[in-house]
Structure 1
Amino acid sequence: MTQALDAGVFAALSPEARLNGVVEATGLSDASAAQLREPSNLAPDVANHMIENMISTIAIPVGVATGMIVDGRERLVPLAIEETSIVGFVSDAAARCRATGGFSTSMSGTVMIAQVQVLGVANPHAARLEILAREEEIRAICDGCDSVLLEHGGGFRGLEVRLVESSQGMMLVLHLLVDTRDAMGANTVNTMAERLAPRIGEWTKGTVLLRILSNLADRRLARARAAWRVEDIGGAQVRDAMVSASALAASDPYRAATNNKGIMNGISAVVLATGNDTRAVEAGAHAFAAREGSYRSLSHWEVDPEGNLSGAIELPMAVGTVGGATRAHPTARALLELTQVSGAEELARVIAAVGLAQNFAALHALCTDGIQKGHMARHAANVAIEAGATGPEVEAVVAAMAKRGTISASAAREALRSHREEA
Structure 2
Amino acid sequence: MITPIQGFSKLSKDEKINWIASNYTHNTQQTKEVLKVYWNSDAKLQKLHDEFIENTITNYYLPLGIAPNFLINNKLYAVPMAIEESSVVAAASKAAKFWLTRGGFKTTILGTEKVGQVHFIFKGDEKKLESFFTAIKPVLFNDSDSITTSMKKRGGGITNIELRNKTEDLEHYYQLHCTFETLDAMGANFINSCLEQFAKTLKREALAYTDFSDKEKNIEVVMSILSNYVPNCVVRAEVSCTVEELSEGNTEDAQHLAEKIVQAVNIAKIEPYRAVTHNKGIMNGIDAVILATGNDFRAIEAGVHAYASRNGKYSSLTNASVDNGVFKFWLDVPLALGTVGGLTNLHPLVKTALEILQKPSATELMQIVAATGLAQNFAAVRSLVTTGIQEGHMKMHLLNILNQLGATDSEKKTLTAHFKTNTVTHSAVVTAYNNLKND
TM-score (norm 1): 0.93
Identity %: 35
Counterparts of 1:125 and 1:250, CA distance in 2: 42
SS in structure 2 of the partner of residue 79 of structure 1: strand
Distance 1:303 1:134, change over 3 A: farther
Shift of 1:311: 1.2
Counterparts of 2:375 and 2:302, CA distance in 1: 21
Match of 1:17 in 2: 15
Counterparts of 1:403 and 1:362, CA distance in 2: 22
Shift of 1:417: 3.7
Counterparts of 2:321 and 2:385, CA distance in 1: 15
Match of 2:432 in 1: 415
Distance 1:156 1:143, change over 3 A: farther
Match of 1:269 in 2: 288
- Residue 119 in structure 1 maps to residue 117 in structure 2: no
Shift of 1:67: 1.3
SS in structure 1 of the partner of residue 59 of structure 2: coil
Counterparts of 1:277 and 1:358, CA distance in 2: 20
Match of 1:243 in 2: 262
Shift of 1:209: 0.8
SS in structure 2 of the partner of residue 296 of structure 1: coil
From 325, 343, 356, the equivalent of 2:361 is 343
The one-letter amino acid paired with 2:265 is: S
Shift of 1:411: 3.4
Distance 1:277 1:148, change over 3 A: same
Match of 1:6 in 2: 5
Q: Is the 8 A contact 1:281 1:318 kept in 2?
A: yes
The one-letter amino acid paired with 2:399 is: A
Counterparts of 2:387 and 2:243, CA distance in 1: 17
Alignment of 1:380-391 (within 5 A): 380-391=398-409
Match of 1:371 in 2: 389
SS in structure 2 of the partner of residue 4 of structure 1: coil
- Residue 360 in structure 1 maps to residue 360 in structure 2: no
Shift of 1:236: 1.1
The one-letter amino acid paired with 1:215 is: N
Distance 1:212 1:367, change over 3 A: same
Counterparts of 1:367 and 1:34, CA distance in 2: 46
Distance 1:308 1:93, change over 3 A: farther
Counterparts of 1:219 and 1:142, CA distance in 2: 23
Distance 1:309 1:32, change over 3 A: farther
SS in structure 1 of the partner of residue 179 of structure 2: strand
From 214, 220, 229, the equivalent of 2:227 is 214
Counterparts of 1:249 and 1:40, CA distance in 2: 43
Shift of 1:34: 1.7
Shift of 1:404: 4.9
Shift of 1:127: 1.5
From 69, 81, 84, the equivalent of 1:82 is 84
Runs of at least 5 residues in structure 1 that lack an aligned partner in the other structure:
none
Match of 2:211 in 1: none
Segment of structure 1 superposing worse, 83-92 or 14-23:
14-23
Q: Is the 8 A contact 1:4 1:25 kept in 2?
A: no
Match of 2:147 in 1: 145
Distance 1:200 1:25, change over 3 A: same
Shift of 1:342: 3.0
Q: Is the 8 A contact 1:132 1:159 kept in 2?
A: no
Shift of 1:102: 0.8
Counterparts of 1:95 and 1:280, CA distance in 2: 30
Match of 1:320 in 2: 338
SS in structure 1 of the partner of residue 240 of structure 2: strand
Match of 2:161 in 1: 159
Segment of structure 1 superposing worse, 265-274 or 330-339:
330-339
- Residue 280 in structure 1 maps to residue 295 in structure 2: no
Distance 1:135 1:364, change over 3 A: same
- What is the CA deviation profile of residues 267-312 of structure 1, one whole-angstrom value per residue up to 9, with x for unaligned ones? 000000101000000001001111121111111111143x232111
Superposed CA RMSD in Å reads 2.1
Q: Is the 8 A contact 1:40 1:59 kept in 2?
A: no
TM-score (norm 2): 0.89
The one-letter amino acid paired with 1:26 is: Y
Match of 1:39 in 2: 38
Counterparts of 2:333 and 2:233, CA distance in 1: 8
Counterparts of 2:222 and 2:287, CA distance in 1: 32
SS in structure 2 of the partner of residue 100 of structure 1: coil
Runs of at least 5 residues in structure 2 that lack an aligned partner in the other structure:
207-216, 248-253
Match of 1:330 in 2: 348
- What is the CA deviation profile of residues 178-202 of structure 1, one whole-angstrom value per residue up to 9, with x for unaligned ones? 1111111111101111111022124
- What is the CA deviation profile of residues 158-207 of structure 1, one whole-angstrom value per residue up to 9, with x for unaligned ones? 11221113664141111121111111111110111111102212445321
Distance 1:160 1:389, change over 3 A: farther
Match of 2:274 in 1: 255
The one-letter amino acid paired with 1:123 is: D
The one-letter amino acid paired with 2:187 is: G
SS in structure 2 of the partner of residue 77 of structure 1: strand
